[in-house]
Amino acid sequence: MTSLLHLDSSAHRSGESVSRELTALFAHTWRAVHGPAGYRYRDLAADPVPPLDTAYCSLGRRVEQHGLVPPAGVDTLIKTPAETHAWALTSPLIAELTAADTLLIGAPMYNYSVPASLKAWIDRVGFPGAFTDPDTGGSLLQGTKVVVISTRGGAYGPGTPREAWDFQTPYLRAYFGKQGVAQEDICFVSAEMTMAGLVPHLARFQSEAESSLAAARAEVMALASARAEIEASA
């Protein structure tokens, strides 16, 4: 079954959230082709992933000492109730991700990077050996598509004065690339100047903000439709 894992990380859980609007548009377009059966949603702001603790780190180091044991074998290395709890929090998130054909991430820019809620999820699913195929040594995320919908209050795109202040795009590209996702399978859609309608000193950029959002909506719909068509014919 073709599947989509949809993550929202915006702390703003109202209808004013642009990242949530755009991820919902992608998901709606995707479900129009596939139906709801393969769709999984996780709101990282409403249901936060706990930050890492000593038990997670101790268990992860033990796994590395044994040569990156696959998730199915981690239980045999657990030594304490705290490690049992840490693994119970972690393993379902890993299973969700490895089961997904496409990962959709809503990532508003917070302080030039990703929200803490998204970073907590990234830290936890990055458990040692989580995505290593025990038979081949390859990545279990090979072939997974990652779509990142990034919203920014200002302008950080190519050619803008603050282009170098965008630590989201290179970070997420590097992280998922290390986990085995091919670079051509990582796609970014950005809506910029989203604060132009709210902040007085940005008001002169209102038309640019509207154009950016319209372009992002069109790109999201086209991308979701294209991925749906590719997956449906696979």
19 is in an annotated binding site: yes
What is the C-alpha separation between 35 and 88, in angstroms, rounded?
30
Number of C-alpha atoms within 13 angstroms, CB side, residue 63?
A: 24
Name, in order, each residue with C-beta under 8 angstroms of 82's C-beta and a sequence gap of 6 or more: 53, 54, 55
18 is in an annotated binding site: yes
153 is in an annotated binding site: yes
Angle at Cα 125 formed by Cα 54 and Cα 132, nearest 5°?
Answer: 110
φ and ψ of 67, to 5 deg: 85, 40
73 is in an annotated binding site: no
φ and ψ of 191, to 5 deg: -115, 120
152 is in an annotated binding site: yes
User: Binding site for FMN: what residues are annotated?
Assistant: 10, 17-19, 151-154
User: Binding site: what residues are annotated?
Assistant: 10, 17-19, 151-154
